[in-house]
Each structure stands twice: as C-alpha cells, then as structure tokens.
Amino acid sequence: KPGPPYPSRPFAARVARRRRCCCYCRCWCWTRSQGSAAGGMAPSLLPEITLPSSPLVLGQPLGQSASAPGLRDGPQRSKGSTASRAAFLERQQNHPAIEKRKSISTLHKQLLKDGRSADDVEFWGSRGKEGFKTYLEKKFGSILHGWRALDKDQNGRLSHKEFVNGCRAMGYHGNFKLLWGELDKNGNNFVSLMEIDEEVGHYIGTFKLELMKKHGDMLTAWKKGVDTNGTGRIEEKEIVAALQNLGLTQLDPKRLFGMLRSGPKGLGVTLLDFDPHSHTRYVSGDHQGLTLKANKEFLEDVVADVEDLPEDVTRHAEGGMNGGAREFRRQQVKLSRQEQQDELEKLKAFKAGLHTVEGFKKALTIRCGSLLSAWRTGLDLDGNGRLTHGEFCVALQRLGLFGDVKGLWKELCKSVDKKDLDKGAGFLVFADLDPEIDAQLHELHTKLEQMYGNLLLAWVKVFDTKGTGLVNEDQFMKACVGAGFSKDARALFHIVKPGKEKVYLTLKDFDRKAYLAHSRGDFRMLSEQERPTYGKKALEMSFDERKEAGFFFQVRKSWEASHRDEFKKACRADVKEHQIDTPEQFEDLCLRKFGSMAAAWRTCLDADGNGKLTFGEFCKGLRRLGFAGEFKELWKHYDCDKNGHISLMELDKPAHERINSFLTLLNEKYGDLDTAWKFGFGKDTHGSLDRAELREACKALAYPHNTDQLFVDLMPMPGRLLLTIWDIDPECTRQRARGHKAVIGGNVAKERAASASVPALSQDLGAGTATSSSFASRGGGTKTSSILPTGGGNPNNPGDVAYAPRKQLKNLLKVNYGSTAAAWRNEIDPRWQGSVHLGKFLIVMEHIQFNGNVKKLWEELTEGRPSATFADIDPEAYKVLVKFRRTLLEKFGCLSKSWQEGLDVDRLGRLDFSEFSASCEALEINDKMAKRVFQLMLARPGQRSLVCEDLQMLLIGVPTEHMAIVWAGAPGDTADDDGADGATSSPLLSPAAAMGKVVVQMASPRQHAEKCLATFHGKDIVIKSVDGFKQMCVVKYGSLWSAWRHSLDVDGNGRMTQVDFAKACQFLGVKAVQKLWSEIDTRALGFITLSEIDPEVSELFAELEKLLLEKFSSSKEGWRKIFDPDNSLRCDMPAFGAGCVTLGFRGKGKNCNERFFKLLRPEPGRSYLTYDDLWIDKDPNEFKSATSA
C-alpha cells in the first residue's frame, strides 16, 4: 500500500495521487477533495490540475500499464536518473521510522488473525463440514430440509455459486472456500446431499426410488403407500408399514422418520416435507406432472445407470413432457365439465319433481302430506276422479312445478295408447299415481256399499255414530274391521286424513261425493250416480212409473224421507251436538287446552290474579274456555263451602298443595323471587329452567312433593320445555311491573296494611288460611300475611300504611324518568308552576302505569290542599336539593355564576361524576351529598354527565317570580327558598324583590320554540334580487344554461310562464317570486325566455344552432359529424373548439369557444359535453345504432 503524501509535495500532486489510488480509503479522500469541504476552499480557488485520462496502476512502470494500453507509447516524464531513485529507495527502507511502521503492521496483522481465530470458535462456520451439518439441523430441524433450502431448483446438486448464495441467504457465516473443499471431494465442481451426509442421502434416495418403482410417481406413492389413512400427515408407524411393504428392512424406520421430519415430534410429516415436487403437483392439479420437470431429486446419487431410473423420470423432458401442457389443458377442461355436470346433478335433486316419476311423487308428498291429499287438494279440483292433459298442466303450474310436463305425462299414463298420448288425448286417474292406496280405497268402498248401500249411509251408521262430524283413529279402525277390510286400517286412516297435524277425519276427507250428497240431504246419493237404475228397463215401465223413476221425483222422494223422524233416528241425524257439560269434561277441557288445572287457573280463569273467583268471574272464565254446559251446576259442584268464591284449592287441591309448598320453601330461604332465581336456581333474569334443573333445586330445598308434577303445574301452556322467572309466581310479575320488590307469594300493599301479628314464615298456607299468592284464595278465614316485607315501613305504626303507595310511586318515577326530580321537571311540572293539580297527576299516574288507589294516594300527598308539590312526593330529595342550592347561593349569589366559577372550572361545558365530585369537594360538600345531587340533576335515564341547564333542577321549590333572580342574580340581592312547600317568601330575597318591584320572568316553552325557529330561519339565504337568483342557479346547477334546461324550461319550448316560474322557485326555495318576476319580465309579455336570464348564452347558442341547421338536416346530425365524429357520445373542450372553428362559429372575444364551453357545461369541473346537455334527445337509440355500426 502506498504511504501518505508528504507535506512538501504540492496540493495538485496530492489530489492526483488520491485519484489514481484504487483502495477505498483513497477514493473516499479523493471524493471529499472534490467539494467545498476540502480544506474549506472553493473550487474556483484551487490550482489547475492536469490528470491522466485513465487511472494508473501503482508499482508498475508507466509504459507497461495494464489498464490503459494507450499510455504505453505516450510521452513519459522523467524524475532523475535510475541511480538517484535507487539511492532514495534504499535510504527510505533503512530509515528507523519505516522499520517501526513495518513492525507495527506485522503485529497488527497477527492480532487480527488471532482475533478471527478466537471468534471462529464461537460459531459453527469455523468447524467445517460437521459444523455445517450441525447448523442445518439446528436451523431447519434436519439435514434434508436444510439441503432443500439450498437446492432451490430441486435438481439434486449445487454449484459453487448456488452453494455460496444459499448459505448467505440462510445466514450461515464461515470460510466458504474451506467448506467447499471439504464437501467437493470428487472435484466435479458440484455438491450433492450424499457429499454432505452420505447416510441421509442413501436413506432418502433408496426410499424414494423404491416408492416410485412400485407406485409410478411420488404423489401416488404418498396416497397409496405412505398416507394410507388420508389424514395429510404421517407418523412413524406409517413409515414402518411403508418400509415393510417395500421390503426395505435394512433401513431404520425411526432414523428415516427423523430425517423427514422438520417440526416438533407430535406434528408428523406433511406432503410438503416428504416431497416438495409432489406437493407442487397436488396444489397445481397436475397430478401426472405434465407441465413440470422430472422428479429426480436424490435418485441420481443412488442409481448407477440412467436406465435404472423410474419411468416417471425418464418420460419427462427437462422442461416437462412433450405436449404435456396441451394434455394438461385438455384434462382441466374435461374436469371442469365433469364438475359442472355434477353440480347440475346435485341441483337436479333439489328441484321439485318433474324429472322423474318418483321425484314428482316425492314433491307431491312433501307438499301435501300424501299422494291422496295431493290428488284431492291440488290436482283433481273438480272431483270427477280423472285429469285431462290440460287440467294436469294447469294443476302443475298452480303448484309451482315446472319441467318436462309432457314427458312426465307420458310416463304416468302407461295404460293409454302412445298415439293418443302424442295427440294429447287420454286422462290420468289416481291409480296411475298410487295404485296400492287406490286398491285399498276401492276395496273399502266396495265392501261398505255392499253392506250399507252407499258411502254416506256407511259414514252415518258406522263411522260417525255420535253425529259430531269427526271420526278418530279408533272409530275408523273399528268400522273398517266391521266391514271386513283386509289391509292396514291404521295406515289408511293416516293417509286419508288431510295432514299430519290433524287428529280427526271428516266426511269431506272420507269421500267428496258423499259430502256433497249430505249437503243436499241426498242420503241415497242419487245426485252423485252417473247412471241411476231403478230395477226395470224404460220400455218395461208405464208412463207413471217412468215419471216416478225420473231423477227429480227420486231426489224429492229421498229429501222428504230424510226429514222424517224415523229416518233421522235410523241415520242418527237427530243426535245433538256434543257438549261439555259435566265437571269431568270441564277438567278434561282444561287439561287439553292448558296442560294442567293450575295453568288453566292462572292463564284463563283467574284473570285479575287475586287468587279467587266470584260467580261472575267464574262465568267469564268459562266462556273464554269454551264451556257450554250449565254454569250454576258447575259452580255448585266446586263451591262446596258456599262462601261465595272458589280457589285453586277447590279445583285441584294436589296442585294447590304442590305450588303452595314450593313457594313457601322459596320464601323461607330467599325472601324474594329475584334472589331465589339468582342464587337458588343459578340463573339470570333472562335465563330459563328445565325439568332437571327444577328437580335439583327442589332437592336442595327438601321439597316433599313430586317435582315432575310441579313442573307441569308451573308450565303456562302445553308443549313448552322451559320455565322462566315469570312462570314461578304471577303475583311477583305484577309486583315487578308496579315497581315493588318481587316478594314471593306476597302483595305488598295488603301485607303492610295487615295486622301487626305476623305469623312465622313456616306457617301452613293450606286450607282455611287466605294467602296472598295468586294460586290461593284471599277470602275466607283470617287475613294473615305469609311473609314480612323487606326494607322500609313499620307494620306497628298505623301512620306508615300510606308509605307503601308513596314508595311505589317513587320507584315508578325512577324507573321511567331516572329520578323523582327529573320526573317532576320533565313530566309533572314542565311549566315551572311549583305544584301539580289532580288532573295532571292522574295523567302521569296512567303514563307510569300506577296500579294502586290513586285517589287515596292524592289525599295522602296533599292532606286536603288543592295541589301537591315536589316536597310532598319526595321530601328527602327536596331537602337535598334545597341544601345544595343554599350552599351555592351563599358562595356565588346565583346558580349560573356557581356553574361558571365553582363547578365547571375548566370551562368544558360538561361535567361527569368525577369532575362534579372534585368541584363539590372544593366547595366543602361531602361525597355522599355530591353523589345524591348528581343523580337528582340528571335529566334523563342513561345520562352520564351534567350541563349548565341541568342546574335548573335546583329551581324546584322556588317561586316562579323569583326563579330568574335565583338563576341569573340581581344587583345587591341574593335569592333562595328553603320552605317545604315553596309557597312562602324566602328570607334570602331582598325586600324589593319580595314586594314584586323586581319582576323577572323566564321565557315560556312557546317563546323558546319561537325564538329557536326564528334563529333557524335567520340562517336562511334570502334571495331578493335577480343577481342572487342567478348566483343560486349557478351554484346549484353549474351554469345558467343548465338551470334553464333542467329546472326552468323543463318542457323545452323555449319560454316560461309565471306559473312555471313560481313552481321552479318553490322547488329552489325562493320566496320573493313576484318581485323577481317583475324584474325579469321587463317587457310584460307574461313569459320569459333564456335571453332575459342569460343574454350572452342565448345569443351564442342561437348562432350555433343556426349554423348546424344551415349545413345539416338536424342538430343531431351536425353534432355527430362536427363535434362527435368518433361516436364517443361526448365532446371535450379541445374537440368543441375545433368543431366551432370547422363550423365557422365566430363568437365574440379571443377565447370565445372556451368561454362558451364553460357556460354550457351542466356542472362545474366537468370536462365534456353531450348532446343531451344542449338539446332534448328524442331518439337516444340513434346514437347507439351509430356506435354499434
């Protein structure tokens, strides 16, 4: 390396030397010397330097330059003789400084070498071949997968370049030259897996070779020979089985599996790990490898001769098989068509019938329940027993079945001649659809007609013996057995009845003709016979006999006979309608409709839920139930003690005992239904309870009765499988709706009004004691309470009786409005009158669904006064608000100032609870009071923060004439009112204000609404001039031309009347219509044109239209040839300008065409015009035809 430049050398020589230097440091130095950073000198101050055209090679004479041959014969500069130069070099070599530098350089090289040797010990790159193998195992899990990371092209060998690039890509560092020498032992400049690890190469190559010989290719070998269970992953046991099948007993299965596996042990080996080439075939769909190279990875290392390679390798060229791409494409097309055909076959199975006879029958069965029902209700609507081809087509269309109707008709009508079928002749009968059922019906009808004469008499005498018109399964089977029917009568019954949900069979379902004859009173079914015969032939009868044998006389005779008493009795036509008139039938009706007597009592009978029924209520319940018997007799049956009412205990005593015992146990352990449902049953409010969970809960309660029967008693309707919280006790549901706590079996108002002697919770609630549960009677015996109410109230205090309805009122107000203060402010007293009268109070009570005695509650609240205040409804909340208001007024003087200076100190306009609590703490107000005040000042349920208007809650109780002063303050005065009723003057008010000298009224809701409306309309853009009207048209439509075309002159006649102008202004929101019209219609013609709106555009457009019509037959033709010659249906600005020039349109001004284009475009920024923007296109299809041409 050359030494540093000497200081005595000139600057230009040092720069030239640095340029000639080829090392990195000198180039960097030369680069820095080119800019202004070189010594801080400007480029213009540097001396001129003459540099050679090519860099010189140091240590070589100039005439022998290898990099620049042109310099060999050029002029050479001489710097003294050869002897002087030799002497100079000798002096330099023997100089002590040079010797010192040489020794330091030698030590430096040795230090670097020792440091590198020490660093090489720490990584695998210094350990040669073994270290490289260990690195591959650590990084990739096995040597095989490390090799595949290096061998990107999967040809089984690596060149030196591939090897080095692959090692660098995987992050391997080491002496590549030394490692390559260790691996490439044969010196062929390639490395294979066998040279890295001979054992791995031998195992993998041998296993792969045998698989391909047996199965043809590796993908087939994977499916059939390795992954036999089709899971996509193989385990060690599958490798063992594969080696045994191949006869490779010399290979260790465990070692082979370890070589193939790359991930954790439990994940197995996938197809990608097993053979990447086969995985590519599987993913691409080219299972035969028609478009891929030969899969000869590792095979050349274990095969000595090329002829021993498998056929799958030999028949593949280097770039794939000859014609492989074409064959692969052909296979893909065939596969796609097959998949499409399979999808069509799948869809065909879902289509409704009409493809095959079986599919058609299946569709009818699904639609109607059976083929017989489909025949009667969907196909043979006229009931003549047969279908023509036309009727068949109409019926299928009505049923929504479409397809090959003609083919289906031919397949069904097999008994008809083929020639007749082609002509559309023939008919279809039910026997063609279902011959088996038709044969059974024919057999049954024949035997019944032989025994009884016709099917109507058979129905009356054998089937419908009670005359109800309904026949159940047992009656049908009994009649069929009596008639000698040989088939399965039960199956025939389910086929004849119209649907699966039906239980009974009617005469119309049994036989339609018999039903029609019965409706006419024709019990002999004369009207339904095709050719009635009367014994003799017509020639053998006299005139009178033939007359009497006529159809009219026979039907009349049959009708008269049917009205005789003996005939009615014989046909059982005089049987009265079946009525439910006994207690047993009444209970059976309750069980059929509701599942249990308890459910019938709760759902239908005891409508008000008071636990008892008077005679009037009992009669109403029976009517709702559908009981048609004697009400008084049934009442006497159940009202045994004659106390004037009945209870569930008298209807079903076991059910009463089961339910009462269950509710008593729940009451003793939990007290209320919510607690019992949450902790006893482990359910939330929206949960449900099944039979098993009820059984477990009853077991924990030591319930003595049958839990399955209890589950049926509590179930409100038959068929349900789950109980909800509302099904346990209906009285609790009513309590929750009224705002009470859901006390099990309790009525809060009655219990708190009861006597002070409260029985124990375990007291028997049986007969003789009137409980408050809706399942028990509340009358008779001694009125006692089953439980003690929880929370608040004292039964020993007679004055506390009114506390229950007042608490109920407060709870309902909180539920509906969030708090009692919000209810007073928003609903009860929205006009700040300070009190409420009875009429308004009744409306609020109806709105919140108060179910108590409203009149009594009003008397207790007012105590004889004509109105009630907020202090009467919630005295506790009123005291809290008054105390908080007094504190704010003492510190700030008014409420608005207290918000600005004391509460909303950050001026954010909104306070959440944490900020409100911090402000109250600064005002020395405790947290408990702050929390209570925050809740009372929330204006609606769900509100989480306060605004300044919410402080109006503090004005509750302040007289109306003083509210403005309390809110905004008065000079020298401070107002407050802490009276209980808000009727007296406050001592905090000044005398002048108390006397009414300072009267400030707040705005009423109507004034506030009018002010808001005026403010809203004040923001309107009022158009009072023509210029403003034009500006609005430009803003809305883009130009006055567009506004004229699309809003003003809609009909396109070129003029606008005053009526049309008024309608357009109404649509645009312009109010000064008459003023604008008088300013625009200056000529008083009664109409205006475009020239009054925009004279410039009117003049230019008239000139353009005139030029087009002079040169062409129509404006559309001229537009197409001048402005739209390429039929693109649009014209941009350059094309418009060129067209105007071609047309001879001059206009006015330099850029008239561009200005005219902007005035015509329909919206701002649009870059083109269409024919529709200028004229009304009466034939849009003409442009389409021209474009297609």
Does 954 have pLDDT greater than 80? yes
Percent of the chain with pLDDT over 90: 1
The per-residue pLDDT for 481 is 87
Residue 579 pLDDT class (50, 70, 90 cuts): low
CA quadruple 212, 216, 221, 223: dihedral, nearest 10: 170
8 A C-beta contact, residue 146 and residue 136: yes
- Average pLDDT on 317-342 reads 78
3-state SS of the chain: helix, strand, coil percent to 5? 60, 5, 40
State the DSSP code for 776: S
The per-residue pLDDT for 63 is 43
* Of 533, 634, 621, residue with least CA distance to 582: 634
> Which residues 6+ apart lie within 8 Å of 971 measured at CB?
none
> Which residues 6+ apart lie within 8 Å of 770 measured at CB?
611, 776, 777, 778, 779, 780, 781, 782, 783, 784
pLDDT in tens, 1061-1085: 888 887 777 777 788 888 888 887 7
Judged by DSSP in three states, 428 sits in: strand
Cα→Cα distances 51→7, 13, 27, 54, 1093, Å: 20, 9, 15, 8, 80
Does 39 have pLDDT greater than 50? no
Place of tokens 């014994």: 535
Does 740 have pLDDT greater than 80? no
- Average pLDDT on 1000-1026 reads 68
pLDDT top residue among 78 and 1029: 1029
- Average pLDDT on 700-718 reads 87
Does 55 have pLDDT greater than 50? no
The per-residue pLDDT for 745 is 54
Taking the CA of residue 797 as centre, how many other CA atoms within 13 Å lie in the half-sphere pointing to its CB? 9
Tell me which of 193-207, 230-244, 1000-1014, 1146-1160 is least confident. 1000-1014
The per-residue pLDDT for 795 is 34
139: burial class by Cβ within 10 Å (0-12, 13-18, 19+)?
middle
Residue 998 pLDDT class (50, 70, 90 cuts): very low
> Which residues 6+ apart lie within 8 Å of 1115 measured at CB?
1105, 1108, 1109, 1174, 1175
Residue 834 pLDDT class (50, 70, 90 cuts): confident
8 A C-beta contact, residue 658 and residue 713: yes
Task: Enumerate the β-bridge partners of residue 317.
Answer: 320
The per-residue pLDDT for 765 is 29
Q: How far is CA 83 from the centre of its chain?
A: 99
Residue 758 pLDDT class (50, 70, 90 cuts): very low
Taking the CA of residue 1169 as centre, how many other CA atoms within 13 Å lie in the half-sphere pointing to its CB? 25
Percent of the chain with pLDDT over 70: 74
Task: Enumerate the β-bridge partners of residue 1056.
Answer: 1088
Does 1169 have pLDDT greater than 50? yes
Backbone angles phi, psi at 324, to 5 degrees: -65, -40
pLDDT in tens, 1033-1066: 877 777 888 888 777 877 777 788 888 888 888 7
pLDDT top residue among 22 and 379: 379
The per-residue pLDDT for 20 is 42
Cα→Cα distances 419→387, 414, 478, Å: 18, 12, 47
The per-residue pLDDT for 120 is 61
8 A C-beta contact, residue 1080 and residue 1093: yes
Q: Which of 71-85, 369-383, 970-984 has the highest mean pLDDT?
A: 369-383
Does 995 have pLDDT greater than 50? no
Does 52 have pLDDT greater than 50? no
Query: What is the residue-wise DSSP string for 866-890?
Result: SSB-HHHH-HHHHHHHHHHHHHHHH
Tell me which of 268-277, 340-349, 950-959, 1130-1139 is least confident. 340-349
Residue 794 pLDDT class (50, 70, 90 cuts): very low
- Average pLDDT on 336-346 reads 82
Cα three-residue angle 234-237-241, rounded to 5 degrees: 100
The per-residue pLDDT for 770 is 33
> Burial code of 875-898, b = ≥16 C-beta within 10 A, e = fewer?
eebbebbbebbbbbbeebbbbebb
Query: What is the residue-wise DSSP string for 1105-1155?
Result: HHHHHHHSSSHHHHIIIII-TT--S-EEHHHHHHHHHHHT---SSTTHHHH
The per-residue pLDDT for 564 is 58
The per-residue pLDDT for 976 is 40
Cα three-residue angle 168-174-176, rounded to 5 degrees: 75
- Alpha-carbon distance of 1005 to 830, in angstroms, equals 9
Does 729 have pLDDT greater than 70? yes
How many of the other CB atoms lie within 10 Å of CB of 837? 13
* Of 864, 881, 861, 883, residue with least CA distance to 873: 861
Residue 321 pLDDT class (50, 70, 90 cuts): low
pLDDT in tens, 151-191: 888 778 889 888 889 888 888 877 788 888 888 888 888 88
Tell me which of 44-58, 621-635, 1095-1109, 1158-1172 is least confident. 44-58
Does 768 have pLDDT greater than 70? no
Handedness of CA 1007, 1012, 1015, 1019 (dihedral sign): negative
Tell me which of 29-38, 559-568, 855-864, 1164-1173 is least confident. 29-38
The per-residue pLDDT for 119 is 63
Residue 1132 pLDDT class (50, 70, 90 cuts): confident
* Of 898, 894, 949, residue with least CA distance to 923: 898
pTM of the entire predicted model:
0.31
Query: What is the residue-wise DSSP string for 1050-1095?
Result: SS-SS-EEHHHHHHHHHHHT---HHHHHHHH-TT--SEE-HHHH-H
The per-residue pLDDT for 346 is 72
- Average pLDDT on 481-486 reads 86
Query: What is the residue-wise DSSP string for 109-178?
Result: HHHHHHHHHHHHTTSGGGSHHHHHHHHHHHHHSSHHHHHHHH-TT-SS-B-HHHHHHHHHHHT--S-HHH
Q: How far is CA 526 from the centre of its chain?
A: 64
- Average pLDDT on 733-757 reads 50
8 A C-beta contact, residue 16 and residue 51: yes
The per-residue pLDDT for 49 is 40
pLDDT in tens, 416-455: 555 555 545 577 888 888 888 888 888 888 888 888 888 8
* H or E element that contains 468: none
The per-residue pLDDT for 445 is 87
Cα→Cα distances 809→88, 819, 872, 1035, 1103, Å: 120, 11, 12, 59, 83
Residue 472 pLDDT class (50, 70, 90 cuts): confident
pLDDT top residue among 356 and 337: 337
Does 649 have pLDDT greater than 80? yes
The per-residue pLDDT for 141 is 83
Residue 1179 pLDDT class (50, 70, 90 cuts): low
The per-residue pLDDT for 69 is 47
589: burial class by Cβ within 10 Å (0-12, 13-18, 19+)?
middle
Does 744 have pLDDT greater than 80? no
pLDDT top residue among 555 and 1075: 1075
The per-residue pLDDT for 549 is 66
The per-residue pLDDT for 809 is 87
pLDDT top residue among 515 and 822: 822
The per-residue pLDDT for 351 is 59
- Alpha-carbon distance of 680 to 674, in angstroms, equals 9
Mean confidence (pLDDT) of the chain: 74
The per-residue pLDDT for 306 is 64
